[in-house]
Structure 1
Amino acid sequence: MFQRVGLAAAMALLLMACSRHIAPPNPVEGATEASRVVLHFTAADGLNPGGSGQPTPVRVRLFELKNAASFNRADYFALAERAQDSLGSDLVDQDEVLLQPGQHLTVERTLDAATRRVGLVVGYRELDQALWRAVLDVPPRMSHEFDIALDTLAVRTALSAPSIHSAH
């Protein structure tokens, strides 16, 4: 009986000793600190073929969003031409970049504290045949890196590196 109690006590002490060395994530000063994103764009050599099959540049619109529901329901022209009306209070901020075929571009942004999603809209010439929209999840107070591939007629995204902001 004493051996069992002694063994249980030793195990409890061992577990407590191990857990002391696990440091919790550093708290972030100010609960409203925004996220940061790094977007690594890679445009395919055959990007956005024109009438003669020649590759052409595309405009990529970036939307900081509180919620992606209205973004996902809207059509291309509503987002490209009437974003504020179409997205209403879900739209926090917006920007755009122009990418040439074969181009690699890195965009770094500090997001508004209210932003929880980043919507991407790619202006392909053949919208009815293209996958032109993507949504990136960006939880608060974290840095994120995304790889964004602009294929001939499709945008693909992948999370490359999330991390928690450290307090300074």
Structure 2
Amino acid sequence: MKRSLVGLVALLLSTLVQLGCSTADVLGAHVLKGILKDDPTIVRATVKATADVNPDARDRPSPIKVRFYLLKNVKVLQNASYYDLKDQDRELLADDLLLYEEQVFKPGSVVQLELKLPPEETLEDAQVFLGIVAGYWRVDQAIWQLSREIEVHDTTEMEITLGQTGVTATVVD
């Protein structure tokens, strides 16, 4: 009697687990569909490098390498040193990193930048931040890093300026 009862319980549990998994998958997909939005999160930016951007040791304008990040949180970015981010940014930001792009800008250049995060990457109530790290020659005298919160599941238009000694970013209405 005990053996047949144990066998019956095992069979019942096995069946419930199998049903539960497929039911959970179906229910989970419906629940997530209600939480997720259909629109991607997009940052469209006009990036302008001024004619006098990033003066070198002889005060000549020089190209500047800039890294753009879409992040869940900016605490690590804001607290890290330039050199830590330069050498190991993806490792440091791994828990918060949603998207990464790197570009080099020549003095006087104007570039259209688009960072696009698919809708399934963020929940409706999530926060997303644009982080920027610019590789200035005189990093100790420059505003080399900034972050801005951006609208999730919407398009944020921005103007980013890479100036002589710092980077600025403004949301355009």
- What corresponds to 1:58 in structure 2? 64
How far 1:32 sits from its partner (Å)?
5.7
Query: Residues 21-66 of structure 1: CA distance to partner in whole angstroms, max 9, x if unpaired?
Result: xxxxxxxx95264211101111111111111111000001011101
**Selected match of 1:117 from 129, 136, 143:** 129
- What corresponds to 1:17 in structure 2? none
After TM superposition, the structure 1 = structure 2 runs for residues 64-83 of structure 1, keeping only pairs within 5 Å, are: 64-83=70-89
**Selected match of 1:95 from 60, 79, 101:** 101
- What corresponds to 1:134 in structure 2? 146
Instruction: Report which stretch shifted further, 91-100 or 77-86.
Output: 77-86
TM-score (norm 1): 0.74
Query: Residues 116-157 of structure 1: CA distance to partner in whole angstroms, max 9, x if unpaired?
Result: 011000000000000000112112111011100111010011
Query: Residues 84-140 of structure 1: CA distance to partner in whole angstroms, max 9, x if unpaired?
Result: 221231112211111000111111121243370110000000000000001121121
Unaligned stretches of 5+ in structure 2? 1-34
Q: Distance in 1 between matches of 2:95 and 2:150?
A: 18
Q: Which structure 1 residue ranges, 4+ long, deviate > 6 Å from structure 2?
A: none
Q: Distance in 2 between matches of 1:130 and 1:32?
A: 39
SS of 1:120's equivalent? strand
**Selected match of 2:161 from 143, 149, 152:** 149
Number of residues paired by the alignment? 134
Contact 1:61–1:80, Cα closer than 8 Å, also in 2 = no
Unaligned stretches of 5+ in structure 1? 1-28, 162-168
- What corresponds to 1:21 in structure 2? none
Q: Distance in 2 between matches of 1:130 and 1:124?
A: 7
The CA RMSD measured in Å over matched residues stands at: 1.9
Q: Distance in 2 between matches of 1:111 and 1:137?
A: 14
Greater C-alpha radius of gyration: 2
Q: Distance in 2 between matches of 1:72 and 1:108?
A: 23
How far 1:78 sits from its partner (Å)?
1.6
TM-score (norm 2): 0.72
More helix by share: 2
